[in-house]
Structure 1
Amino acid sequence: MERRNFLRASVVGAGALALPFTLWEGTGLGSPAQPAPGPYGPLRAADTNGIMLPSGFTSKIVARSRQVVAGTSYTWHDAPDGGACFADGTGWAYVSNSEINPDGGASVIRFNAAGTIVSAGRILGGTRLNCAGGATPWKTWLSCEEVDRGYVYETYPFGGTAVRRPAMGLFQHEAAAADPVRKVVYLTEDESDGRFYRFVPTTWGDLSRGTLQVLVAGTATSGSFTWANIPDPDGSPTRTRHQVQGAKVFNGGEGCHYADDRVWFTTKGDNRLWQVNLVAGTYELAYDDSLVTPGTPPLTGVDNVTGTTGGDLYVAEDGANMEICLITPGSQVSPFLRITGQSSSEITGPAFNPAGDRLYFSSQRGTSGSSSAGITYCVQGPFRR
């Protein structure tokens, strides 16, 4: 499947799961982000990689689908999608999903302290449309299948055999975000009538057993919420999203990011970014392209989302004009980068290295629009931290 622009019409790194997003605490209900000049200034002309960046930032290509990763013998996968960075000694590792069917999965590239590639390899194979996912505090990657009654697979970037985690529910999974304070994992569902879930493990750090719950709330765009247990996480014959009366509907759940008692997630069907305040028990809109005034919304085709220790959110676009947009804690949104000449692709897998000075991401289908033409990039520069 080559993904989903037609639906618009109808972390983060494991060492940074509790980022200090304290500046968001002043954001009031009903005040979604509005356009403003970016903190790094305007975008410059495209560089040799076709990427427009602010002054002081540079890009490089890390890997290309069906080509050997430089310095290794490993061939990079097709259709790179969701990703995350993990601390690895003095270096780090970047994990990326492969959104193809039937032989999807995930791969990893490892870097030394200087950012030089030292190895690469497969950590999951033989799965279906591995779209997004999420990192855990114990340095595993949750790779999620975006298919009807799809699974979450727990994978091991530093060695170990991937394990299917059916207790986390069988549905059209998208992203996951671990919350080490409440000891739960949040999950999005890529359906036009999708729901927002959390998985409560029986033992934190062991995802083999636990309780799947769904967010219950009214139909408004802000308010209070509760959690209710899903009676049958297997989703058959009744799909998980239809099992609990009053479960709030979200139109096409996508990226998900946790930090400092809040979780953010995007919905592609209505082009929104939601913020859930886990202490107050409330939810609200952090961004809605239909509420941008005046002028053209800077962010459309919302998809994957990640954040920095400085409190900024970075939201990748699926199509649109191929930008990663930045939303500040002061609710200001602006383009951070734009990929040119790749209008038939989407930006996927944004993730910062542990130091926060490099942002990894992919163009899933590159210049040709084919899943075999994916490109994975790294942007380096003076990110706010």
Structure 2
Amino acid sequence: MERRTFLRASVAGAGAVAFSGSLWQNAALATPAQNAASPYGPLQAADANGLQLPAGFTSQVVARSGQTVPGTSYTWHSAPDGGACFADGTGWIYVSNSEMSGGTGGASALRFNSSGTVTSAYRILSGTERNCAGGATPWNTWLSCEEFDNGQVWETYPFGGTAVARPAMGRFSHEAAAADPVRRVIYLTEDKSDGCLYRFVPTTWGNLASGTLQVLRAGTATSGSFTWATVPDPDGSPTATRNQVSGAKRFNGGEGCHYADDTVWFTTKGDNRVWQLNLLNSTYELAYDDNLVTPGTAPLTGVDNVTGSSHGDLYVAEDGGNMEICMITPDDKISVFLRINGQSASEICGPAFNPAGDRLYFSSQRGTSGSSSGGITYCVSGPFRR
């Protein structure tokens, strides 16, 4: 089967979630990504931070769990997880979830000036549970998602304001969210071995207080057509949202979710896959499957958070594996972009580009210690394709 061509998208505006440009052309269903040399060249020896990067790229540590963020008086949270960047004048803000239990979760923010120096750090959500991933909105809020059976989506305000729960978006084991400004919906993944993919249709775009929760319906194959069906009871009690609609398609451990150019990509950790929804023709397919990679060994395992660059490259972080961020290029080639050494008991979380696209932020949730209190948040700078 001939692979459709993904032409470059460009990040638009402060939310860093709306994209313009050409589409994945609907020519034929895809062959999942295959091994290839990285467009950036081979990884170099580990730097002082333990990161192996391509030539021309450098890393820095911007925050460590339990320690004061340099240049501020704020103590960075434990277990950093999903994240996103927002334009802030000539600088930007990076937000990061805290995947802690017992009401000690939440989210924090780092504010950077135009040179990439932290100017302030602060809390934007407190007292919540297992805030795993989430997603940015075009109106500059961060959707922080709770990963447990009765979890909610919390809308938070990186530029100031009190976080608000959005129960209309469903109560289930939330993972990630991705905003689609064209259809005016939010896509939501569910971290269960028999989880589903949802979309929330707000009554009014820009206001998540009310709306309709829908679930994707499709067959059991890895490609085909899909439809959406309304979930009768988004509260998920007594019947879980994933069990309310006949024919809802099951996905094995939904994780990261990313929207661009009439396409949604999302990952499933239980089977090491990256899925692709083609929204113009309502079809789905595999963008990556570690069992279908040739030649050699699949580089990406433990698939987790995903983001995209303005060039159209997808960056997929590993939960475990060998602690890599891998990239899938527009011509369906997969390669390793970076590797973190000496942190095998951790996972990589929250990859997100700054508005200019020349800095990639992400965290190692448990760092070198293997403990939630040992999280490390990094920035990698360099000649990213834009």
Deviations 1:235-270 (A, max 9, x none): 000000000000000000000000010000000000
Partner of 1:382: 383
Q: In structure 1, what residue type is equivalent to 2:79?
A: A
| Unpaired runs of at least 5, structure 1 | 1-10
Partner of 2:169: 168
Partner of 1:321: 322
Q: In structure 2, what residue type is equivalent to 1:19?
A: F
Partner of 2:217: 216
Partner of 1:3: none
Q: Helix, strand or coil: the match of 2:25?
A: helix
Runs of 4+ in 1 over 2 A off after TM superposition: 11-16, 18-28
Q: In structure 1, what residue type is equivalent to 2:40?
A: Y
Q: Is this contact kept in 1: 2:16–2:136, CA < 8 A?
A: no
Deviations 1:109-146 (A, max 9, x none): 00001111100000000000000000000000000000
Q: In structure 1, what residue type is equivalent to 2:250?
A: V
Distance 1:49 1:28, change over 3 A: farther
Distance 1:27 1:73, change over 3 A: farther
Partner of 1:232: 233
CA–CA separation in structure 2 for the residues paired with 1:176 and 1:39: 29
Q: Is this contact kept in 1: 2:124–2:156, CA < 8 A?
A: yes
Partner of 1:25: 25
Partner of 1:247: 248
Q: In structure 2, what residue type is equivalent to 1:123?
A: I
Q: Is this contact kept in 1: 2:24–2:263, CA < 8 A?
A: no
Q: In structure 2, what residue type is equivalent to 1:25?
A: Q
**After superposition, where does 1:167-316 map in structure 2 within 5 Å?**
167-316=168-317
Distance 1:292 1:189, change over 3 A: same
**CA RMSD for the aligned pairs?**
1.3
CA–CA separation in structure 2 for the residues paired with 1:48 and 1:219: 47
The alignment-based identity, stated in percent, is: 77
Partner of 2:80: 80
CA–CA separation in structure 1 for the residues paired with 2:31 and 2:73: 50
Q: In structure 2, what residue type is equivalent to 1:43?
A: L
Deviations 1:34-73 (A, max 9, x none): 0100000000000000000000100000000000000000
Q: Is this contact kept in 1: 2:15–2:87, CA < 8 A?
A: yes
Q: Is this contact kept in 2: 1:63–1:377, CA < 8 A?
A: yes
Distance 1:98 1:187, change over 3 A: same
Q: Is this contact kept in 2: 1:21–1:309, CA < 8 A?
A: no
Q: Helix, strand or coil: the match of 2:232?
A: coil
CA–CA separation in structure 1 for the residues paired with 2:20 and 2:341: 33
What is the TM-score when the length of structure 2 is the normalising length?
0.95
Partner of 1:57: 57
Deviation at 1:149, TM superposition (A): 1.3
Q: In structure 1, what residue type is equivalent to 2:97?
A: N
Q: In structure 1, what residue type is equivalent to 2:121?
A: A
Q: Is this contact kept in 1: 2:345–2:366, CA < 8 A?
A: yes
**After superposition, where does 1:130-145 map in structure 2 within 5 Å?**
130-145=131-146
Q: In structure 1, what residue type is equivalent to 2:32?
A: P
Q: Helix, strand or coil: the match of 1:241?
A: helix
Partner of 2:346: 345
**After superposition, where does 1:350-365 map in structure 2 within 5 Å?**
350-365=351-366
What is the TM-score when the length of structure 1 is the normalising length?
0.96
Deviation at 1:295, TM superposition (A): 1.5
Q: How many residues align?
A: 375
Please tell me whether residue 92 in structure 1 is matched to residue 115 in structure 2: no
Q: In structure 2, what residue type is equivalent to 1:270?
A: D
| Unpaired runs of at least 5, structure 2 | 1-10
Distance 1:375 1:282, change over 3 A: same
Deviation at 1:97, TM superposition (A): 0.1
Deviation at 1:16, TM superposition (A): 2.8
Deviation at 1:21, TM superposition (A): 6.4
CA–CA separation in structure 2 for the residues paired with 1:12 and 1:176: 18
CA–CA separation in structure 2 for the residues paired with 1:82 and 1:35: 27
Q: In structure 1, what residue type is equivalent to 2:177?
A: A
Deviation at 1:17, TM superposition (A): 1.8
Partner of 2:371: 370
Partner of 1:6: none
Deviation at 1:29, TM superposition (A): 1.4
Q: In structure 1, what residue type is equivalent to 2:198?
A: Y
Q: Is this contact kept in 1: 2:304–2:316, CA < 8 A?
A: yes
Distance 1:54 1:28, change over 3 A: farther
Distance 1:39 1:21, change over 3 A: farther
Q: Is this contact kept in 2: 1:94–1:110, CA < 8 A?
A: yes
Deviations 1:55-101 (A, max 9, x none): 01000000000000000000000000000000001100000000001
CA–CA separation in structure 2 for the residues paired with 1:179 and 1:255: 15
Deviation at 1:23, TM superposition (A): 6.5
Deviation at 1:22, TM superposition (A): 3.3
Q: Is this contact kept in 1: 2:18–2:138, CA < 8 A?
A: no
Q: Helix, strand or coil: the match of 2:128?
A: coil
